Amino acid sequence: MSARGFGLLAGYAADLLLGDPRRCHPVAGVGRLAAVIERRTHRDSRLAGAVHTGVLVAGSAALGAAVDVAVRHRPWVRAAWTAALAWTVIGGRSLRREAAGIADAVERGDLEDARRRLPSLCGRDPSHLSEAELVRAAVESVAENTSDAVVAPLWWGAVAGSAGLAGYRVANTLDAMIGHKSPRYRRFGWAAARLDDAANWVPARLSAALAVGLAPLVGGSPRRTLHIWRRDGRRHPSPNAGQVEAAFAGALDRTLGGGENRYPGHTDTRPALGDGPAPTWADLRRANRLAAAVSMAAVVGAAVICRRRRPRRGR
C-alpha cells in the first residue's frame, strides 16, 4: 500500500475512534486567520472575493504539496503526515454524534435540546422549528455533510495528496464562512461558493452512488434509490447537496425538502425529494447508519485509488 493510502486509512480511523481534535483544531485556526484577513480584503466585489478565496486556497494547497515533496523519500513520515492532516480534515464521527444527539432529544420529547444542537449541523434558524422540521434538517445535514466532510476530503486526498486535503478543507471552510447570500457576502462570497460547488461535484455524485449500493443496509431498495436520485437530484438549488439528499431520501424511503429553510439574512424554499412520509427520529438513526456505511466504502475506495496511482519505481 502507498504511503498516501495508508495515511488516509489511518486518518479516517483516527476520526472514527477519536473524533475531531478537541484543542487547537487546525480548521478553526484557518477560520480565524481567514476572518482576520477578510477585515482587510473585504469589498462588495466579486473580484475582491475571488482574490481572497484564491490566495487562501492556493496557499494552503501549496503548503500541503511542499510538505509532501519534502518527505517524498521517507514513506513512513509521509504516511504519518497524511494521517494527521486527514484526521483534522475529516469530520464523520462528530457529524454522526451530533445527529445522534438530536435523535435522542427528539425521542424523549426535548425539542429545546434538539434546537440547541441543530446549529452544530447546519446554519438554519432552529428557534421555531417543529419536531418534523428539526428531524428533516438533521437528516438533510447528515446526507450533505457525509459528502462534504468525509467523501470529498478522501477523494481529494486520494487524487492530490496533502495539497488536495488542505486546499479542499480551506475551500469548504470559506464557503461556510462567506459563501452565502447575506448582504455582506452576496458578491464577496460568490467565488468561495462556486469553488466549493466545483470541488464537491464529483464527491457528491460518488456519495449518492454509494448510497444507492448500500441502501439495503437501512432497509432500502437500490433500484428505488437510483430512481429517486436520478429524478430528484437536480431539483435542489445546490448542484451537489441535492444529489446526496435525493439518494438518502430514496434509500430511507422518506421525503426530504419540501419547505422553507430560514437562514440569517435570507429564506430558501426547497422542493420535495423522495416519495415517502416525512422522516422521524428513528429515520435519523437510519441516516446515520447509512452515512457510516458510505464513509467506510469511501475510505476503502480512496485507498484503492492511491494504490493504482502509486508511481512505478525506475530501474
pLDDT in tens, 5-61: 999 999 999 999 998 876 667 777 888 899 999 999 999 999 999 999 999 999 999
43/50 Cα distance (integer angstroms): 11
SS3 of 233, please?
Answer: coil
SS3 of 31, please?
Answer: helix
Of 310 and 289, the structure prediction assigns the larger pLDDT to 289
The predicted structure's pLDDT at residue 52:
97
Residue 227's CB is within 10 A of a number of other CB atoms, namely 15
The predicted structure's pLDDT at residue 270:
80
Mean pLDDT for the stretch of residues 241-262: 91
Mean pLDDT for the stretch of residues 244-261: 91
287/240 Cα distance (integer angstroms): 18
Supply the DSSP symbol for 118: G
The answer to pTM > 0.85 is yes
213/236 Cα distance (integer angstroms): 22
Exposure string over 48-76, b if 16+ CB within 10 A, otherwise e:
bbbebbeebbeebbeebbebbeebeeeee
268 forms beta bridges with: 261
Indicate the domain borders of the chain.
Answer: 3-309
- Phi first, then psi: give them for residue 73, nearest 5 degrees: -95, 10
Question: What is the grid cell recorded at 73?
Answer: 523519500
Supply the mean pLDDT for the chain: 92
146/287 Cα distance (integer angstroms): 10
